[in-house]
Chains A and B, each alone.
Chain A
Amino acid sequence: MSTQVETEIALPRRAKFHIGDLALRVVAGAAAVLVAITLILIAYKVTDEASAALSAFGLGFLTSSEWNAVTNQFGALDLIWGTAVTSLFALILAVPIAIAIGLFLSELAPRRLRAPVGALVELLAAIPSVVLGLWGILIMGPFLEAHVEPFLHDNFGFIPLFSGTPSNVGLLPACMVLTIMVVPIVASISRELFDSVPSDLKAGALALGSTRWEMVRGVAIPQVSAGLVAAVILGLARALGEAIAVSMMIGGTLGRPSSIFGSADTLAARLASQYQGAATALQTSSLAYLALILLVFSLVANFSAQLIVRRIRRRLGT
């Protein structure tokens, strides 16, 4: 009787071949290959479209601030500058606020408030960029022009940064919109990072007599510093690639104004406003060259963030 029971329980058919397994493996593998191919295709296609400009201008494109459809001379310098300035400015504003929010949600908020406030911060991230742009053009821009910029101009106008004429479009309005977009991304990652700090580490510091802030500064932040860097880089990538809201707020001109009230343009915003109707084929190709530069920037940012995360995971042993 016992032998009957034993033979009834079959061993897992690990070695046996089954067509269903193969089919699923192939199809699932194909899906994975599909995304890799898509990524490579994107890089290839953009480079291909840019080839005329690449051969006409080469790397000099990156240092030229010409953008002239009449003489067919184009250069990316002003746009790279605009992208760098708006993104960095947005990061300078957003990162402290976002880390503070992450801390609040992780350490300070009463337990009952954590979920709702966390949800509200994430909702900020869910606002479509075109809606933020709409709000920016019709409400925030005029508000900045009527109240904030004159205030800055009248009181701090001796600093070149605040010396221009107040305007409802320009670097400042664009940076404000980017800040609003970057904060929730960095905040939610920061919150997860702070939540992941082992509680015995935190408790130890507090038991030794640290204030909560000293614990954060001395224990939590150093513990998650690499992750915070990755979060900031992800926020940077978001700011770099934002085309729609920025194109609505930045004024779309060339130049590198010294005042934040001045208008400029970014790589992504110029693509949004000019890619469809370029006057010459070389201009279209130059715009594709801008897209290539933008792609390279965001790839570098994403890769670095991924590498940092991988190193953290390896260190933590996960």
Chain B
Amino acid sequence: MSAEVNPLTVVTPRARRRKLVGVMMEVIATAAAILAVVVLLIVVVSVARKGLPALNADFFTKSPVPFGQTGGGIKNAIIGTIIMTGMATLIAVPVGVLIAIFNTEFASPAIAEMVRLVLNVLAGVPTIVIGIFIFGLLVVGNGQSAIAASIGLSIVMVPLIARATEEVLLLVPPSLREAGMALGATRARTVITVILPTAVGGIVTATIVAVARAAGETAPLLFTSSIFANTVTTDVHQAMASIPLTIFVDSESPSVADQQTAWAAALVLMAGVLIMGIIGRALSLRTRRQIERAR
């Protein structure tokens, strides 16, 4: 009996080449992923390394000093960002959630499709154009104000919140809805007392993601809140300092002190965004698990 070769185990040169190409492609794909992670790490580490030295108590508790002097901090910018993002959230969350409710509860599929289209197009409008729009609408004749800036930021936030809330509302099992109706509750009552509470985790996640995005937006603030005092103000009819604009202005300055302020402000902003991103993801996973369990 001659030794028989199993044809299935013969490796032809062609097969070898195909396998080589396959491995090469996998290496490239892995390298691409590594590249992305490396770039992220480079940016984050640079910001941390350059920004940390400037983070001291003064940085958070003092406002900027006059031209030529040293010291000071970005207290006015931190408070300004918190107030303006907060106001934008107060506008965007009700509007976004209501739109999602409209789409899932009241709209016909065609209308819901149109609303989604409008939301996606609005989400794609460049933020600099939004800034110009709000400037022409609210600032001309009246002056810059935190309110105008907040409205601009809310335009950026609404599509994000509306889309994400709609996704969560759709995840809510129809059985919950039907149960509410079967018990005699009205549509509105069912939505408010049954569906929204179930989806609240997802809405909170959507809000956190939108807040993280709005806190870092610069373009809507350029023409609506760029003339601000070097002191803390809580008057919403005045322009307020903000962290993104502080970074923007100080980054173009030749003074090392200003550049360091920019790095430190970027570090504070990135830390906030990252923390919100982590919390958002954790919440999102938890909500999904909860809803899955309710099915």
Contacts and interface: CB of A to CB of B under 8 A. Distances in A.
B47 A135 contact: yes
A45 B133 contact: yes
B223 A276 contact: yes
Nearest to A127: B43
Interface in B166-221: 181-182, 184, 186-189, 191-192, 212-213, 215-219
SS class, residues of chain B in contact with chain A:
helix
Contacts of A298: 124-126, 129
Interface in B233-264: 244, 247-248, 251-252, 259, 262-263
Contact of B46 (A130, A139, A299, A306): A139
SS class, residues of chain A in contact with chain B:
helix
Interface of A: 10, 12-13, 18, 20-21, 23-25, 27-32, 34-36, 38-39, 41-42, 45-46, 48-49, 96-98, 100-101, 103-105, 107-109, 117, 119-124, 126-135, 137-139, 180, 183-184, 187, 211-214, 216, 234, 237, 240-244, 248, 268, 271-272, 275-276, 288, 291, 294-295, 298-299, 301-303, 306, 310
B25 interface: yes
Contacts of B259: 138
A108 B223 CA distance: 46
B274 A137 contact: no
Contacts of A30: 98
Contact of A123 (B47, B129, B274): B274
A29 B99 CA distance: 7
Contacts, number: 263
A291 B99 contact: no
Contacts of B132: 46, 49, 271, 275, 288, 291
B120 A97 contact: no
B36 A97 contact: yes
Nearest to A29: B102
Given A28-B99, A129-B218, A271-B129, 16 more contacts: A21-B188, A24-B188, A29-B102, A31-B99, A35-B95, A35-B115, A38-B155, A97-B32, A104-B29, A130-B244, A133-B248, A180-B39, A213-B21, A288-B132, A291-B132, A306-B120
Interface stretch (B56-64, B71-79, B103-111, B287-295): B103-111
Nearest to A212: B22
Given A32-B115, A104-B32, A119 B43 contact: no
B187 A103 contact: no
